[in-house]
Amino acid sequence: MKYGLQFRDVFAAWEFLLDGLVLTLALSVATMVLGFFLGLACACAKTYGGVRFKRGVTVYIETIRNTPLLVQIFLLYFGLPSLGLRLEGFEAALIALVINLGAYSTEIIRAGLEAIPKSQIEAGQSLGLTPWQIFRYIIVFPALKAMYPALSSQFILLMLATSVVSQISVQDLFHVGSIIQSRTFRDFEVYTVIGGIYLALAFMMRGVFAVIYRQVFAR
156 binds other proteins (CB under 8 A): yes
Which one, of 15, 32, 18, lies nearest residue 162 by Cα? Answer: 32
Q: How far apart are alpha carbons 55 and 27 in whole angstroms?
A: 30
Question: Closest CB to other proteins among 85 and 123?
Answer: 85
The single-letter DSSP state of residue 67 is S
Question: Closest CB to other proteins among 41 and 161?
Answer: 161
Is-contact 177 190, C-beta < 8 A? yes
Cβ 70 to other proteins shortest distance, Å? 5
Contact positions with other proteins (CB under 8 A) in 167-186 = 167, 174, 181
48 binds other proteins (CB under 8 A): no
Is-contact 155 32, C-beta < 8 A? yes
Residue span 89-128 as binding mask against other proteins, x where in contact by CB under 8 A, dash where not:
----------------------------------------
Q: How far apart are alpha carbons 19 and 176 in whole angstroms?
A: 8
Q: Which of 83, 119, 128, 132 binds other proteins (CB under 8 A)?
A: 83
Q: How far apart are alpha carbons 183 and 12 in whole angstroms?
A: 12
Backbone angles phi, psi at 96, to 5 degrees: -60, -45
Which one, of 8, 4, 17, 5, lies nearest residue 180 by Cα? Answer: 17
Identify which range of 11-19, 45-53, 62-70, 127-135 contacts other proteins by CB under 8 A. Answer: 62-70
Q: Where along the sequence are the contacts to other proteins (CB under 8 A)?
A: 3, 62-63, 65-72, 74-75, 78-83, 156, 160-161, 163-164, 166-167, 174, 181, 187-188, 191-192, 194-195, 198-199, 202-203
